[in-house]
Amino acid sequence: MKPISSTSLLISTLLFSLISGTTANPPTATLYKSKFIGRSLPEFNQDLFLGIKYANKPTRFTPTELKTAYASHDSNSGAYDLTKAGASTSTKSVYYNATQYGYDCPAYGSDTTTLVNQGLATLNEDCHNLNIIRPQSSTDELLPVVIWIFGGGWTQGATADPRYNMSYFVQQSDLNDKPVLGVSINYRVSAFGFLDSEEVRAEGNTNLALRDQRIAMRWVRKNIKAFGGDPNKITIWGESAGAYSVGAHLVTNDGDNEGLFRAAIMDSGNAVGPPYNGTEWHQPMYDRIVERAGCTESSNTLQCLRNLPYATLYSAAYEGLEWFATVDGTFISQYPQISYKQGKISKVPVLLGTNTDEGTSFGTTGTNTDEDCIDQLISSKRWVLTRPQATELITHYPNISSIGCPYGWGNTTWPSLGVMYKRYASMAGDITMVAPRRLLAQTMSGFAGRVYSYRWDVAAQNSSSTIGVQHFAEIPFVFANPVQTITPLGSDPARLELGQMAARMWTSFVADLDPNGHGVDRIPRWTRYSNRATNFVFRLPRNESYIEDDEYRLDGIDYINTIAR
């Protein structure tokens, strides 16, 4: 077993090879009588197949269909230069150019702006593509597969985001002698993926983003063997809205996952947590989009939106970070908390967790009184509580600074953020992330023995605006990428060592359904939640990680988990 280096073995990025898109003797895979031409990444000892379409561009605001035939011009990168593959330019065979990322789906937000301005992402509705990262050192044996579903509030996100570069993650699996094959998928977000209204429901075209993901999973299940992956050993993995998505796939179809995956990883999120708002929330958003787009007088406003030029719709469709999945009676048949209670959930091994101070990312400022807290709890877009529920909830969260969020800061307060900032942040984090994590761990422990829960307790790289271990703090670590600069891991070798260990734990779970095969000395054994309700707590340096009983804030979290949502 190869040891983890305290500094990066490889500090070069994919940037040069992504731009050049060239590889001598490129890797290939044959599928549907078509040859997919990828690219080798020698500094990682990997083969890449990028921008493979799992579906053609659908009619706007309708579901995708599984792609089963390919032409040489299908790739967003254009036709492949056959001379690079040593093939005759007169050949009638199909050569699919899988050397560069495909288009990313239309999105909104600061991350999207950064990616577009840096030339890392191109937004286009023809964005239903995926990427495959394969270790070259693998034998003829098919590899376990992990499908990455990005987060971003279901409003932004892209597989081309350097923070989701899977090469460092897959590399750790290879160095640990447990190689896995990585897949990342693009899917529609924001209004393009979650438009909801009476008009949309009349057509049955709700939750299109989740349906996109499901189609991508079908493509992987059906075709990954051609690329060296084992279709019977697929794990789906997501963070934040990506973890919400993974959770949704656990409960859709009354828990029948159709053999599309055998395990799931959820970082900060699961099916319970996001608000499954109905048309009472989304209809006004739809109506505002229709008005901005100039479609108000149309006899069919949805068709009018379909007929608009992309740039016109993109400008009109911005509604902030407001889009969520919805209970539509089909893909999401009921509140997931009810599905959990009824056992209508895919009973597979899971690895799941949250960050210590999630509430500092989901709370609000200006809460100074009990009534301020109640008003926020019943009006926030992130949860749907009634006034009686909110009134009951605050009784379980006293306004005592020493026990508020961020935790472990004693009596430190931030008066400018609100007298009850820490109290409200504690409730916000538990409603959104921590209570759903505990509920799912408890629920799955009754069905599947392999349940592993964690608490991430290492902050992102310090900044003047960072308070506590916030949402997304674990991502730079788990992807073990020391060179991306959007949310940097930092230069401290101990941070990279922790990240490499986490990557090995995640990939060990993908390979063996057990995160303990990481090969790092002096680390406590991560116990199954079904044996004892505990969390593996990640600390810095990594040998200070420990196991804790999962029993904090019992009364408040127990109450939250009685609420159907």
Write out the catalytic residue numbers.
240
User: Rounded to 10 degrees, what is the CA torsion of 505, 509, 515, 517?
Assistant: -80
Whole-angstrom distance, CA of residue 535 vs CA of residue 555? 18
Where helices occur in 122-254 by DSSP H, the ranges are 167-175, 190-194, 198-203, 208-223, 241-251
| Cα 478 to chain centroid, rounded | 13
φ, ψ of residue 129 to 5 degrees: the values are: -135, 165
Place of tokens 């048309």: 279
φ, ψ of residue 305 to 5 degrees: the values are: -65, -40
Identify the burial level of 141 via C-beta atoms within 10 angstroms of its C-beta, where 0-12 means exposed, 13-18 middle and 19 or more buried. Answer: exposed
Question: Which neighbouring-strand residues pair with 45?
Answer: none
> Is the previous residue joined to 406 through a cis bond, with omega within 30 degrees of 0?
yes
- For the chain, state the CA radius of gyration: 23
Check: CB of residue 49 under 8 Å from CB of residue 27.
yes
Where helices occur in 450-514 by DSSP H, the ranges are 475-478, 493-512
Nearest alpha carbon to residue 451 among 346, 530, 504, 507: 530
Whole-angstrom distance, CA of residue 270 vs CA of residue 298? 39
Three-state secondary structure call for residue 317 = coil
Tokens at 385, concatenated: 């509580």
Whole-angstrom distance, CA of residue 495 vs CA of residue 492? 5
Whole-angstrom distance, CA of residue 410 vs CA of residue 438? 25
Check: CB of residue 333 under 8 Å from CB of residue 231.
no
Whole-angstrom distance, CA of residue 95 vs CA of residue 559? 57
Angstrom CA distances, 237 to 115, 337, 432, stand at 22, 20, 18
Contacts of 465 (CB under 8 A, 6+ apart): none
